[in-house]
Structure 1
Amino acid sequence: MRSNTAERWIQDRVDRYGPVSKLSLLGTPTVLVTGPAANKFVFFSSALAMRQPLSVRRILGERNLLELGGADHKRIRGALAEFLKPDMLRLYVGKIDGEVRRHIDERWEGRSTVTVMPLMKRLTFDIITSLLFGLERGPVRDALAGDFERVIEGVWSVPVDLPFTAFRRSLRASAKARRLLVEITRETKAKLERGEATRSSNLIACLLSLADDRGVPLLSEEEIVDSSIVALIGGHDTSSILMAFMIRHLASDAQTLAGMVQGKYQTHQIKKHHYFKQKLFSALSMLISLRGAEHDEVAKGKGDGEALLTWEDLGKMKFTWRVAQETLRVVPPVFDNFRTAIQDVEFGGYTIPKGWQVFWTAGVTHMDAAIFPEPHKFDPSRFENNQSSSAPPCSFVAFGGGPRICVGMEFARIETLVTMHHLLRRFRWRLCCKEDTFARDPMPTPLHGLPIEIEHRTYY
């Protein structure tokens, strides 16, 4: 993972043993399954249960969505889906837009270089804490951001609770964050009772408002806190990685860039890169005519540019979302996952014994030339009909699939489109590092956090 050769290791194993093979991982007998049929088996089989490492259970809570199954999983997932459904999310587009504008004004504007990865992580954190918890900008949100960083550091660590270990730091930070979320939950409950908040105010208000036919709350306080932490982690890492790798790719893909925005550039910054700019301008000039620049078209409809983006505006950014999907295909944020066989189960002509791990990975289907021709070529047109028409089901699995498909998929789409709209309309950038590499630990991270040189964009 850290040397970024995991895909090659998996593919070599598939070439040698086929799409089903056994091995030992972390001291546990394991079956590696690959291909669309294997993905479908993992996502839909009732004989397989989620299996999270002990560190995840200790830090995120025993009632977290990743750990639960059966009726409890369905109940809590349904509660989260109630807040994250499109009808609810369309109410928050303007609020997300405001967070993105403030972030860019404070952390991008007036600078000649920025480091993208930590900026995207802070942006997604601010968006999520605002919408999910109702936390406004200030010292409380800043303190939670520090705690959250320490939580993330230990989620996938060796669960040894000793001083000075990442696991101990993460446990302490998790306990502190949970105390804050309990306080927020109780304050929100009081506001709902006084009529000072509504079901649509934020995620916690929505979860507190859900009840059965007898008026009994669907979720306990512990389940609300655990669900909030999982939502924070799930929405923070994956979206920030997606946007960082989109920025990374667009730095060197003029053709894709031209489908998003047109424009001239200011010359008071990065003058030493005159040759680079000449080449880029030339490529853009030739390619702009190939497809309309959708973000410029959206901006034209906003008048003076001060009006916030709307749900309808996002519906016009179809090409940008195809670019995002292709980015996820090439660099899926989640490389693999595990299930546990809760009974003997058949797959591919083999019996997987009860208690064995089932190891699943996205890269095998994403980079299969029989499914996605020329898989190493970046081609957003693969997703012109939401997914390549020639690809079998369960081939593109960046968001998982089945009953556990990412519940925040639509939320990720909104914050990605809003963020890319403002970055593309205001800046152009160039990679600082000649070596354009990344490693996984366990999520993909660009070299040095992806430092870039930026210049402000002017318009025709």
Structure 2
Amino acid sequence: MTTFLLVSLLLLIPILFLLKRTKQSKRVPPGSLGIPIIGQSLGLLRAMRSNTAEKFIENRINKYGPISKLSLFGTPTVLIHGQAANKFIFANGGDNIVNQQTKSIRMILGDRNLMELSGKDHSRVRGALVSFLKPESLKQYVGKIDDEVRRHLQMHWEGKQQVKVLPLMKILTFNIICSLLFGLESGKQRDQFLSSFQAMIAGMWSVPINAPFTRYNRSLRASARIQNMLKEIVQQKKVERETNGASSRQDLISCLLSMVEDGKQVLTEKEIIHNATLVMVAGHDTSSVLITFIIRLLANEPSIYAAVLQEQEEIAKGKILGEPLTWEDLSKMKYTWRVAMETLRRFPPIFGGFRKAATDIEYNGYIIPKGWQIFWVTSMTHMDNSIFPEPSKFDPSRFENQASIPPYCFVPFGGGARICPGYEFAKVEILVAIHYLVTKFSWKLLSDNFFSRDPMPIPTQGLLIELCSRKLS
């Protein structure tokens, strides 16, 4: 009997050792999930609004290491950062990591938008959007964007001594979106869209508690109004196509409605509405913020302003008075775009993003459990001294040869198969706007350089500037 117990014990030792080792190798990352539902959401949002979000992330890294667990916006989350983390996020084929935003974003934008889809659905919807947003298609819309920018400057900038840049840039990008993506001209319908749209985006990064008077509740109600308005536009476009044979290229919704395979529409009506809402948000916020921070930068960096002005004046001198910019003109704005890229590096509109683990995933010695969020942060590589020497210095020459920048280190538009499909659209918006701003005006800042994130960067007083009209020399 004693011998039997001894043998059993000797056999159990390696089994217990293996079980312990397996348990340790499959442990979740260190950290705390905090209070149920709320977790660390309020702490992150407070840090973003006080412009200390990077410090919030750095403190977690110093405390827990390169990977840690927390709870954000009602969901268990794993924070990862760095070049390897970016590659892990953007180069993953989709079997292990799938698109899924926070509950607040998913409920506000709709569950059939591109950021929620994976696999064949993602490829199908992305392909439909890219068919309208690719450079070959955008070439024919440069004149329309040019017209919107000039009309905006004439209405809101010319003759003014002071302006608040960010609110005006939001109006500009909203009008471009309404015109180009929805075929919606200025008037009552566009104005109704704007007020609901601003209420909708205010709660996209919020704790998803759907109670009266919460930011999340207000955004949900505004989202419902937006989607109802888009449904009406979709119905109008269907009627126009059936009765008048309207062009499929006149706007995004007409383009999406025209796509048919095997006698069936490529996108459902729900997918068209949800993705029109997504493009609306992406094109409105990111572009308006980037243009605002370029204006802020040019006020602080006279030598860079002078170089941008010189490039834009050369292009303007080659135009007949009143002649719109062309795709060829935009291709000459190389230095201006390098300034835009360096602005994106220093002040990325998107602080970070979310994915979801579709299965248990091993990463950096830990297990990210199935169903958990994965949170990555843009600025962790943008401000890494080993990637970008003197990262706090504004230096557009970093982008003279983008091939020299290590892959997955500069990610303001994402990367890999998940790179933002609206990248070229944003580029056209920004270059056209900067061309007319620098050739028509000079300016100086009347507010300090502080900004907060909500969740995108917002300068003090919306970036109040003093304007001075200038003439082409």
The TM-score normalised by the length of structure 2 is 0.87
Describe the SS at the equivalent of 1:156. Answer: coil
**TM-superposition CA deviations, 1:73-124 (whole Å, max 9, x none):** 1111111111001111010000000000000000001100000010000100
The match for 2:229 among 153, 177, 180 is: 180
Q: 2:109 pairs with 44, 60, 69, which one?
A: 60
Q: Distance in 2 between matches of 1:9 and 1:249?
A: 25
1:432-451 alpha-carbon deviations (Å, 9 max, x no partner): 01x31100111110011111
Specify the SS of the correspondent of 1:259: helix
Tell which deviates more after alignment, 214-223 or 417-426. Answer: 214-223
How many Å separate the matches in 1 of 2:198 and 2:369?
A: 38
| CA distance in 2 between partners of 1:197 and 1:406 (Å) | 28
Q: 5 Å matches for 1:380-399?
A: 380-385=396-401, 387=402, 389=404, 391-399=405-413
2:312 is equivalent to residue 295 of structure 1 = yes
Give me the TM-score of the superposition, normalised by structure 1.
Answer: 0.89
Q: CA deviation at 1:128?
A: 0.5
Deviation at 1:372?
0.5
Provide the residue aligned with 2:51 in structure 1.
Answer: 4
1:42 to 85, 89, 95: 89
Distance 1:183 1:24 in 2: 38
The yes-or-no answer on 1:189 pairing with 2:238 is yes
- Partner of 1:369, secondary structure, is coil
Q: How far does the alpha carbon of each residue in 1:175-217 deviate from its partner, in whole angstroms, 9 at most, with x for none?
A: 22222211111111122223441111100010001111x2211
For 1:38 and 1:62, locate their aligned partners in 2 and report how far apart those are by CA, in whole Å.
Answer: 26
> How far does residue 26 in structure 1 lie from its aligned partner after superposition?
4.8
1:445 equivalent in alignment to 2:465: no
Contact 1:330 1:366 in 2 (8 A): yes
| Superposition CA RMSD, Å | 1.6
Residue 24 (structure 1) shift: 4.2
- How far the C-alpha of 1:49 sits from its partner, in A, is 1.8
Alignment of 1:327-338 (within 5 A): 327-338=343-354
Shift of 1:458: 2.7
Distance 2:203 2:194 in 1: 15
1:432·1:451 contact (CA, 8 Å) conserved in 2?
yes
Name the aligned partner's letter for residue 14 of structure 1: I
User: Which residue is 1:90 aligned to?
Assistant: 139
Task: Say whether the 8 Å CA contact 2:73–2:104 is kept in structure 1.
Answer: no
- Opposite residue 307 of structure 1, the aligned amino acid is E
Indicate the structure (1 or 2) with the bigger Cα radius of gyration.
2
- CA distances 1:46-86 after superposition (whole Å, capped 9, x unpaired): 31122322222222222122212221111111111110011
Q: Are the structure 2 counterparts of residues 418 and 361 from structure 1 closer, same or farther at C-alpha, using a change threshold of 3 Å?
A: same
Checking the alignment, whether the CA contact within 8 Å between 2:352 and 2:376 is kept in structure 1 is yes
**Percent of paired sites with the same residue:** 55
Of residues 260, 282, 286 in structure 2, which corresponds to 1:234?
A: 282
- Determine if contact 2:102/2:354 at 8 Å carries over to the other structure: no
Given that 1:151 and 1:169 are in contact with CA atoms closer than 8 Å, whether structure 2 keeps it comes out as yes
1:165 Cα deviation after fit: 2.9
Distance 2:273 2:333 in 1: 34
The corresponding residue for 2:337 is 321
Q: Which residue of 2 aligns with 1:117?
A: 166
* Secondary structure of 2:385's aligned partner: coil
> What secondary structure, in the 3-state scheme, does the structure 2 residue paired with 1:458 have?
coil
Count of aligned residue pairs for this structure pair = 424
Q: Does 1:31 align with 2:78?
A: yes
Matches within 5 A, 1:9-408: 9-26=56-73, 28-45=75-92, 46=94, 47-212=96-261, 214-261=262-309, 293-304=310-321, 306-385=322-401, 387=402, 389=404, 391-408=405-422
Bigger CA drift: 27-36 or 137-146?
27-36
Q: In the alignment, which residue of structure 1 is the partner of 2:441?
A: 427
In the alignment, residue 82 of structure 1 is paired with which amino acid?
S
Judge conservation of contact 1:83–1:89 (CA < 8 Å) in 2.
yes
Amino acid at match of 1:125: F
- Distance between the aligned counterparts of 1:13 and 1:220, measured in 2? 43
The residue aligned with 1:277 is none
Whether contact under 8 Å (1:382, 1:388) holds in the other structure is no
- In the alignment, what sits opposite 2:23? none
AA of the residue aligned to 1:38: A
Letter in 2 for 1:349: G
